[in-house]
Amino acid sequence: MAFDTTPQPALQADNLNKSYGAVDVLHDITLTMAEGEFLVLVGPSGCGKSTLLNCIAGLEEITKGTLHIGGRDVTQEPPKDRDIAMVFQSYALYPTMTVGENIGFGMKIRKVPKAEMDAKIMDVATLLQIEHLLDRQPSQLSGGQRQRVAMGRALVRDPKLFLFDEPLSNLDAKLRVEMRAEIKRLHQRINASIVYVTHDQIEAMTLASRIVVLKDGYVQQIGTPAEIYARPANTFVAEFMGSPPMNIVPAETTADGYLADGTLVPADTTEKPAKVLIGCRPEHFSVQTGDVALQVAPTLIENTGADAYVNFVWNGNPVTARLPAASVEMDQPSIDLRLDGQALCVFDADTGALIS
């Protein structure tokens, strides 16, 4: 008798919909997540990412569609039966318990033997580098340490799926960067299956194996950070992902390239419509020597040390170029630039969808 040894997806959603009465919040969400993947749900406020996470957790009832975790249909199952662990934006620690007691509380409720519980608490605390804090109260910890405790409480569960709901939002900028690196290293060490919600596209780009970009309850694109950065599915993704975002400029298609406000960008325009939107990342500009491709009058120059961000207006749209700081003077009245035509993304002028 043959057995199917194909690995089951860690998570699979098929045509998942969520409504509150007549208001539709999630629309036909379909996605598959492999074991050990770090899947990030990202989008602006109100896009439905936290609602989707709550549907996965069982905290929100699914209106229509199905949800599988580890190959098992959990669409109608309560949260306690889904084999998940969740880390919230607020640390949600018990203030009267020590760090060790907080981490082990779930095991205590499940009546795990004390020796086994103590061993797991120490293993997880060592993994998170908080073993020296086990006897302290939450009030004696910094924000980053509290978030590690909250993560430890989830890790001792060893669940099928970890769910992170904007866990770094309460931390200051420096600590966010440090904790982001900690979470990335943790994922690499334990190879856990993680669904992570954030509105911060930098977090999404640095943490994710794959990213799900949401807008108004619809999936805009699913792909690796590299795919989404280089080949955004539409102008929304192009302008949302990336810091600074992709520049979008209206242009006319000619036989030799794209013409925008009198400047021709040489490119292959085979089978392109007459009017398009061209997209370029700030790093696709360079200082021109010789024949001038694009002469710009900076509206603002921001020097960050290694780079200078030059802001200007092109064909009525604001544009940012990232250039070596040494090549730009802060009070320079005009700069001659070249744009790499081979790096362009071309979008439909009416729908905003990627053409090529």
The pLDDT, as a whole number, for residue 5 is: 52
Secondary element (H or E) of residue 54: helix 49-57
Residues 229 and 126 in one domain: yes
Joined together, the tokens standing for residue 245 give 């975002």
Average pLDDT per run of 10 along the chain, which is 356 residues long?
A: 65 96 94 95 93 95 95 93 86 87 86 88 86 90 85 83 86 81 85 92 93 97 96 96 93 92 88 94 87 84 92 95 90 89 92 92
Residues 255 and 228 in one domain: no
Strands 194-198 and 161-165: parallel
CB 341 within 8 A of CB 256: no
The pLDDT, as a whole number, for residue 93 is: 86
CA distances from 21 to 15, 24, 303 (A): 18, 8, 51
Query: How many Cβ atoms sit within 10 Å of the Cβ of residue 183?
Result: 23
The pLDDT, as a whole number, for residue 255 is: 92
Which residue, 177, 204, 239, sits at the end of a domain? 239
Residues 162 and 302 in one domain: no
Residues 225 and 187 in one domain: yes
Domain assignment of residue 291, given as a range: 246-348
Residues 117 and 201 in one domain: yes
Secondary element (H or E) of residue 129: none
User: Distance between CA atoms of 5 and 59, rounded to whole angstroms?
Assistant: 32
Report pTM: 0.88
Residues 141 and 254 in one domain: no
Query: Is 355 domain-assigned?
Result: no
Which residue, 239, 271, 294, sits at the end of a domain? 239
Residues 91 and 129 in one domain: yes
CB 334 within 8 A of CB 297: yes
Q: Rounded mean pLDDT of the chain?
A: 90
Number of structural domains in the chain: 2
The pLDDT, as a whole number, for residue 3 is: 47
CB 150 within 8 A of CB 93: yes
The pLDDT, as a whole number, for residue 110 is: 84
Secondary element (H or E) of residue 206: helix 201-207
Residues 254 and 169 in one domain: no
- CATH number, domain at 70? 3.40.50.300
